[in-house]
Amino acid sequence: LQQELALTPDLSLELLAESPSTNQVAADRARDGAPDGLLVVADHQTAGRGRLDRTWETPAGAAITFSLVLRPTVPAAQWPWLPLLTGHTVSKALAAFGYNTRVKWPNDVLIDGLKVAGILVERIETSDGPAAVVGVGINVSTRAEELPVPTATSLQVAHADLTPTREGVLLGVVAGLREGFDAWQAGGADAAQRLASSYVAHCATVGQDVRVDLPGGTAISGRAVDVDLDGRLVVETAEGRQLVGAGDVVHVVPE
């Protein structure tokens, strides 16, 4: 893995047999001065974290769990795009292996409406300035009975006749992310516009009737019509247009 990753410039690898949470390890390394491009991979993650104190559960040997340390050079106003860019890029990297993936806003990767990958991007302060820890979990060969929730799937469950190796998928996804982040950072003012249109075209949420559970405990319902240049979901509700910066989307399936 180390050798093959060397083909992707600007990455260094820390491979762990077991870790509670690669996001935690990567954040500690970043606080200790780790540079942009440190990739922390765990063969088995025992206490994976989701957003808002939720858990991310993966059986030993069946999943990809890693975190990448980034030190973005883009203006702070563009940071909210990082989770969306990550979801979009992971989705496209999996699509390159033949899977029919789409992104549920902001960053869940779905196959046939079920979640195959989850992303947790955390911004941390370090003595070298702010850093982002980009955590990615992908269900690879998890069997149906091992999936933690009914809304989950794995590459294996979704498409048993495609059989990429865990290492192959990891390398493809990581190379895609490095390329995607670099292009985004180099893209200047046009990058947000290009990313937004590419994201919207690949997003399962835009065009759907949705309910969005907002962080405060309230919810709004309506039709998701767009994602704006700040990465917010635009929802047409009975009360008018609302911009959502954070929340959990439920796609409303027509009866």
Among 50, 80, 130, 187, binds ligand BT5 (CB under 6 A): 50
Please list the alpha-helical segments (H only) found in 32-117: 81-95
180 binds ligand BT5 (CB under 6 A): no
What is each CA distance from 62 to 58, 185, 190, in whole angstroms?
Answer: 7, 33, 39
37 binds ligand BT5 (CB under 6 A): no
Among 49, 88, 102, 104, binds ligand BT5 (CB under 6 A): 49
35 binds ligand BT5 (CB under 6 A): no
> Within positions 91 to 130, which residues make up the interface with ligand BT5, using CB under 6 A?
115, 118-120
Among 4, 8, 16, 51, binds ligand BT5 (CB under 6 A): 51
58 binds ligand BT5 (CB under 6 A): yes
**Of 56-64, 75-83, 178-186, 230-238: span binding ligand BT5 (CB under 6 A):** 56-64
Q: Applying CB under 6 A, what is the total number of residues that bind ligand BT5?
A: 27
- State which H helix or E strand residue 108 sits in: strand 108-111
CA quadruple 191, 8, 120, 40: dihedral sign = negative
Closer residue to ligand BT5 in complex, CB, 42/227 = 42
139 binds ligand BT5 (CB under 6 A): yes
Among the listed residues 31, 24, 30, 70, the one whose alpha carbon sits nearest the alpha carbon of residue 45: 24
Kindly give, in sequence order, each residue whose CB lies less than 8 Å from that of residue 53, ignoring residues fewer than 6 positions away.
Answer: none
> CA Rg, the chain, in Å?
18
Among the listed residues 15, 9, 11, the one whose alpha carbon sits nearest the alpha carbon of residue 41: 15
Kindly give, in sequence order, each residue whose CB lies less than 8 Å from that of residue 1, ignoring residues fewer than 6 positions away.
Answer: 13, 15, 41, 167, 170, 171
**Of 8-16, 46-54, 97-105, 225-233: span binding ligand BT5 (CB under 6 A):** 46-54
Give the interface with ligand BT5 as residue ranges (CB under 6 A).
Answer: 21-23, 45, 48-52, 54, 56-58, 65-67, 115, 118-120, 135-137, 139, 148-149, 152
